Amino acid sequence: MALTPDIQQKINTWLNGSYDAETKANIQALINTDQEEALSDAFYRDLEFGTGGLRGIMGTGSNRMNRYTLGMATQGLCNYLLRSFPHQEIKVALAHDSRNNSREFARIAAGIFSANGITVYLFEDLRPTPELSFAIRYLRCQSGCVITASHNPKEYNGYKVYWNDGAQVVAPHDANIITEVNAIQSVDEVKFQADESRIHLIGAELDAAYLAKVKELSINPEAIQRQHDLKIVYTPLHGTGITMVPKALAQLGFTNVHIVDAQATPDGNFPTVLSPNPEEKVAMQMALDLAKTLDADLVLATDPDADRVGIGVKNTDGEWVLVNGNQTAALLTHYLLSARHKAGKMTDKDFIVYTIVTSDVLGDVARAYDVTAYQTLTGFKYIAGIIRDLEGEANYIGGGEESYGYMIGDFVRDKDAVSACALLAEMAAVAKDNGHTLYQEMMQMYATYGYYKEHLISLTKKGQRGAEEIQDMMRDLRANPPRTIAGLPVVELRDYKTGVIRNLQSGQETTTGLESSNVLQFLLADGSKISARPSGTEPKIKFYFSVKEPLKSVVDYKLVEKKAEAKIAAIIEDMQLK
């Protein structure tokens, strides 16, 4: 493929600008070997803030994660902070995960902040992302950043930006920061020379304060005392969870936690897994194998920056199975509300939040306990936004999304696998105290509210061509929405980009009430829901499927599960998404 003039101009800028010799040599090597597609992918755009911030493959180029793209983003943030908080001492907190180059990138960012006269609180070593969110509010910072690419493969790294409420940046700050970054015409404008006197290392004090807040979430400490020897297997998947999760579990009183040794050491190469993603069974296999050997009660796995958690339990046949993100979010919600109700802790101001692509069983549970349930766009910055809007007027209990992220309590304003692990272990202890397993608790929950089955198809479309394919798919779905899917009429189209909800039968239109986001939802006559959403952080387009079937008794669980699976399979086949 021929390089466009814009791409060629960017390449020339990097070859002739103030970039180090190694960077220029890497570019020249691609030119010399006629790797035009690689050059195009590396330079066809600048890395942009999506739902998770700045994220990309590490390497040379404007579309890669490196000291220069990180530097320009940080300088842009500095410029925005200096304008937003004039005549104030500006403070930022900085953390990083276990990925390759994460510590180096954190030091570079700290240096740039300090060179701009900003006070920096840098964690002395790797820490979970949720602790960074906590640190911002604890230290009264105006902003914060964490170097991480979450659960992406090892070649990725990223840069999440947070505002003074501890949440990831939202409008108008996200767009304004991008404007400031784009206004930087040269890396010469980036202040790389650190002022070490402004960089302060933090660690133990923040750890203790954060863990104390996690402990406060416990609702049934007596059950934990009785079931303190609950057999838990935990793996941090070579990530930051090892620093906090075992401590949190011990602090709640659990005394029988087994860590997967081969995955306990932080390592950016993630040598024992193809991808450090607890959503994937292969990533959790070592933990599941250990659990089987030990005859454990619960498996917990966190991703590299410890904001997502996956769990494994034994089913009624004694086989180890994974509980998906929707099921875990529903179980946590049901436990939090039922336990609070039993303990007399409920108030008429309590509320939960979940996203538009998360199982609607969360809303059913909330209604059963007369708790308000809000739905919002995908991303915990939107959940945090609702907490911010209702602060002082209502009481946030918990929330989550289908992609294995949960936030319990409001002392952290992002998904938090550390506190989730603690409450999941407590939930398992309470279930065992009552003679049940978590799997049995899940079956009973669905028998109460109806059986929901969800499924996700994620199509990866890499590079410039892939981005164009994703745009074409969404454009076609909007221009030619299906009238029927798997023989069922499509009764409603929700377009979150335009903010319009259209009844396809009556033609009546209403509004979503949410800010614009590139998501489409199709509601079928039987209540099934299909969502299409390009990822904001990965080169993917995701299709979410949700169906509901009546479940009168746990005895019928497997039969109803198969019926729901068949319905989803028919929908996928009709939409030609295999």
> Can you tell me the mean pLDDT for 37-42?
90
pLDDT in tens, 183-223: 888 899 999 999 999 999 999 999 999 999 999 999 999 99
Give the mean model confidence (pLDDT) for residues 519-537: 90
Mean pLDDT of 507-518: 93
Separation between Cα atoms, residue 148 and residue 98, nearest integer Å:
8
CA dihedral of residues 24, 30, 36, 39 (deg, nearest 10)? -40
pLDDT at 49: 65
Active-site residue, selected from the candidate residues 114, 143, 150, 546 = 150
| DSSP states of 264-288 | TS--TT-TT-SS--TTSHHHHHHHH
Cα dihedral: 398, 403, 404, 409 (round 10): -20
How many percent of the chain have pLDDT more than 70? Answer: 98
**pLDDT digits 0-9 by tens, 314-338:** 999 999 999 999 999 999 999 999 9
Q: What is the pLDDT of residue 1?
A: 56
- For position 200, what pLDDT does the model report? 98
pLDDT grade, residue 50 (50/70/90)? Answer: low
Short-list 221, 285, 278, 276, CA closest to 423: 221
pLDDT for residue 263: 98
At 512, is the pLDDT very low, low, confident or very high (cuts 50, 70, 90)? very high
For the chain, the average pLDDT equals 94
pLDDT tens digits, one per residue of 403-438: 999 999 999 999 999 999 999 999 999 999 999 999
- Asked whether 104 and 213 are in contact (CB, 8 A), the reply is no
Q: Is the pLDDT of residue 297 over 70?
A: yes
**pLDDT at site 466:** 82
* DSSP state at residue 556: G
Amino acid at 342: K
Determine which of 16-30, 232-246, 464-478 has the lowest per-residue pLDDT on average: 464-478
Domains and CATH numbers, the chain: 45-202 (3.40.120.10), 209-449 (3.40.120.10), 452-574 (3.30.310)
To the question of pTM greater than 0.95 for the whole model, the response is no
**What pLDDT is recorded for position 246?**
98
219-to-131, 223, 430, 562 alpha-carbon distances in Å:
22, 9, 10, 35
Q: What is the mean pLDDT of residues 226-244?
A: 98
Q: How confident is the model at residue 460 (pLDDT cuts 50, 70, 90)?
A: confident
Residue 434 burial (CB count, 10 A): 10
Residues 65-69, mean pLDDT to the nearest whole number: 95
Q: How confident is the model at residue 142 (pLDDT cuts 50, 70, 90)?
A: very high
Mean pLDDT of 103-130: 98
pLDDT at 52 over 60: no
User: How far from each other are the two terminal CA atoms of the chain, in whole angstroms?
Assistant: 29
Q: How many CB atoms lie within 10 A of CB 12?
A: 11
Question: Would residue 535 show up in a list of annotated catalytic residues for this protein?
Answer: no
- Mean pLDDT check: name the lowest of 178-187, 220-229, 259-268, 322-331: 178-187
Instruction: For residue 538, name the pLDDT band (cuts at 50, 70, 90).
Output: low
